Structure 1
């Protein structure tokens, strides 16, 4: 094999939508390995067929990954070359493969990356949000309570925060983001590299209203990118800015609780303190 290494695992990135994004190197490696470990063998067979690649496929997913370690170790010991692919994008990025890579490296086997498409990187590159520092959180919990806990933990992070989300939960997640992050800027990327690729850029409540008005906007897999919190300044200046925000929102008819949530998301601090401040402003103007 031209990669110059026998008995190796190749971690191969595959397209996230547009098949033309498969690199020539990835296509060559997939055509030269002895067999391929795939998240979904039926899905991967459809990817490989147009390339003329007919290799044995073995499933490797979250439910059998640990059991596959010994099979892969024996294959590499015998000098075989194996490719690891996921359904789309780069393996191990919110996809199976971590256990296999960890165990094979620990036992002295070579693991070779074949880089390529990744929804996280593609979304960030076109979102117009800071990318010098970012936090990738993967998929959020399916249930509301744990999901809100995870989101709340990132309220004061100053770097861009990135989540993956499914079409089945995107509206529930936007509802939680609206309640917790208020007017914070959010960029949604969906159907990346596909025909209906879309970037939506607004606060969470506006994005949710757009989806409710146009259900097609809730289709596809999503990358959610949340702008980082602004750096906190001196306490006096922070209080003055927060009071100005609260006064403006109360004047527009927003409730005390909602206004406090928005200011907490924007400026940080404790929501209880901003609630008390908002209530005091409301009582003063009553």
Structure 2
């Protein structure tokens, strides 16, 4: 069971070409404008986690935790993200489970090179650190590991790294596309998983969020972000190459045009977790176009 957020679901910028087709046979979105036309706000975001619903064989009684994300970069310097996620799940049958994930990634401005390092623990017991690099061309993904041991593997076809995937998602949303399918590698877990993804994109909106009238996502209902265009997105993750119709999990969120996300909900089938954006620190300097 994978409780860590796919990192780049919370950031976006630039342009890329998605792999044709997807797990549900949906067509890929058409290419959009160049990456410099999409500017990502450098920011630090804090999301508090809570249980939304629970039923079935893997049901939990409560869930809590926090995600902290620091994002920096642009199309010239590349994009760096540091993430920490602590999640506590309580179950009457299996007891309490506390997972602690620390992840650092770097993706170049063109989305061809990717570095990732992940350290994690469950109930205080640490797992081996995963440290590696990856390169993606039009014909294959190649991944090389330094830790936990030197190794490598490759996957044929077009595979997108996370921020490039999300840059394509913003392009598709701007172009009025309703779906986007792509293969994605984010270096999470053991660093060996390539996911088939299918995004369903809703109508654009501005003004009060769906959380209006509650305390949820308060930073998105105040100030400049209250007038920034956003799209409701449902992003499903499937086991790569399996052709399965049931996703491993589904992430629903509001994707803002500057790359910030709100209204998070992770649905694992037997239970779902909400992410409430409780703090958002935006860089004071406005993002400006960059020509690599």
Q: TM-score, normalising length from structure 1?
A: 0.22
Higher relative helix content: 1
Structure with greater contact order relative to length (CA < 8 Å, sep ≥ 6): 2
Q: TM-score, normalising length from structure 2?
A: 0.22
Higher relative strand content: 2
**Based on CA coordinates, which of the two structures has the bigger radius of gyration?**
1
